Amino acid sequence: MRALKVLVIGMGVLIIAASVTLVVLIIQRAGKATPSLPVAAVMTLGQPAGTRIGGIAPGADGRVAVWVQRPDGERVVLLDTRSGQAVGEVRLGE
């Protein structure tokens, strides 16, 4: 019975210590300044009127793939996020 009391007291101390640690970590992280986000760049796809963006996916080396739905067919336009220019295009279903 004595071992059970020691075990319960020990676990109670551990729970209190873990709770205090959690509260301290939350306070520390909440107090840190968030890093400033870069200003969003304006990029144009240069597509004709009536074109819709069907989806966007990140790619490798700072590129973004944009699926566009044009009146004359669908395409995937590859954009370089550093320069803001279209670097390639894949036509679908032609």
pLDDT digit string (tens) for 27-43? 888 877 666 556 566 66
Mean pLDDT of 66-84: 87
Q: Characterise 76 by phi-psi region: left (phi > 0), alpha (psi -120 to 50), beta (else).
A: beta
Contacts of residue 30, Cβ cutoff 8 Å, sequence gap at least 6: none
- SS3 of the chain: helix, strand, coil, percent, to 5: 30, 30, 35
Nearest Cα neighbor of 43 from 78, 2, 69 is 78
Both structure tokens of 89: 């295009």
pTM of the model: 0.52
Residue 94, pLDDT above cutoff 60: no
Per the CB < 8 A criterion, the answer to whether 45 and 51 are in contact is yes
Per the CB < 8 A criterion, the answer to whether 73 and 91 are in contact is yes
Residue 72, pLDDT above cutoff 90: no
